[in-house]
Amino acid sequence: MIAILQMIEIIEDPRQQSKTKHKLLDIVIIVLFAKLANADDWEEIEYCAKVNEHFLKKYIELENGVPVITLYL
């Protein structure tokens, strides 16, 4: 998992930081984790992140909690 985090941290975040609530690393890890758990849509990705929030916080900060579905759309 650490190797995956290090690779994803290399990705540049083109968003305006003042307009972001969640880190790009957090979003990418959530989507990757949920897809590995067979999440098929954005609702399932959000559900997977909420159910596994405690586990995810071992690897990512989630300063503002789990991103809501509208973030992914």
For the chain, what are the domain ranges?
20-72
pLDDT tier at 72, thresholds 50, 70, 90: low
pLDDT tier at 1, thresholds 50, 70, 90: confident
What does pLDDT average to over the chain? 91
pLDDT digits (tens, 9 = 90+) for 8-31: 889 999 999 898 999 999 999 999
pLDDT digits (tens, 9 = 90+) for 38-48: 999 999 999 99
Calculate the CA 26 to chain-centre distance.
Answer: 3
User: How far is Cα 4 from Cα 51, in angstroms, rounded to an integer?
Assistant: 21
**CA distance to 29, 30, 40, per residue, from 62 (Å):** 11, 10, 22
